[in-house]
Amino acid sequence: MSGFASGSDIISYVAVGDSFTEGLDDPCCETDGTGPVRYRGWADRLAEHLAADRDEVRYANLAVRGKLIRQVTGHQVPRAVELQPDLVTFCAGGNDIIRPGADPDATARIFETAIRKLAATGARIVVFTGMDTGFQPVMRHLRGKVATYNMHVRAVADDYGCDVVDLWGMHVLRDRQAWSRDRLHLSAEGHRRIALRVCEVLGADTPADWREPWPAATPRPWRSARREDLVWAREHLVPWIGRRLTGRSSGDGIEPKRPELEPLQPAGPGN
């Protein structure tokens, strides 16, 4: 498909998905602790890159943390269709795959339904494979299901002419510096690299290389690493299990951060 190279044009972009696309854990600004944190994330960064050399980019982000693919397809996709954008990014299914008893084949059928509806708009569609979880001890057992789902994603992308961002092949994401403290969401630097990767897939200008090696990490003594594991389990794993057992979601009561297509200001240097 044609690239999104620089030019004096106007484009509209809608991001659809869950916490990955909402931007957790990449806070956009400091807060005083009295209100909710607003997240930036790779989709915001992508929109900023696209706006850097265009007359205007109109951007909406419908993604909400914790949503299952059926919820994304049922609520966000119809809204994206209404907005009639030039570009749609769609990433969903991860919250389904990590649940006990998840069926990647059934999840893929819902994925195909969503892409079929989006493709009917004529928009350029970008989809994402799941990441390789082999480097994460807690998530390693899901690797086979993620790989199965990825094969479906690629097949659907071929059928509907979608661009594919291969997160599985992004080896830079296997470094702990790419992840936030909860070990489930990307760090700000992880999001920055994803945005650069999507720009590359789109054929847009990129100000940096997402493959750039990470700075050398400070060695962690064994005792400190185990202490971090205990803190992580208490602050992140136990609450996650609690939500699963009670049927709650981290996205309950959360509204999309950019529900309308609105003009975006260009990104600053180094973003």
Query: Would you state the structure tokens that stand for residue 151, as one six-digit string?
Result: 């094969």
Count other C-beta atoms under 10 Å from residue 75's C-beta: 14
- Any idea what DSSP says for residue 211? T
Burial 217-228 (b: 16+ CB within 10 A, else e): eeeeeeeeeeee
Rounded distance between C-alpha atoms, residue 164 and residue 150, angstroms: 10
- This prediction has a pTM of 0.86
Model confidence over 131-170: pLDDT tens digits? 998 887 777 888 999 999 999 999 999 999 999 999 999 9
CATH H superfamily, domain 10-211+254-263: SGNH hydrolase (3.40.50.1110)
Residue 168's SS3 state is: coil
Model confidence over 43-58: pLDDT tens digits? 999 999 999 888 899 9
Model confidence over 169-218: pLDDT tens digits? 999 999 988 987 776 889 999 999 999 999 999 999 888 999 999 888 77
Contact between residue 251 and residue 65 where contact means Cβ atoms under 8 Å apart:
yes
First-to-last C-alpha distance (Å) of the chain: 25
- How do the domains of the chain map onto residue ranges? 10-211+254-263
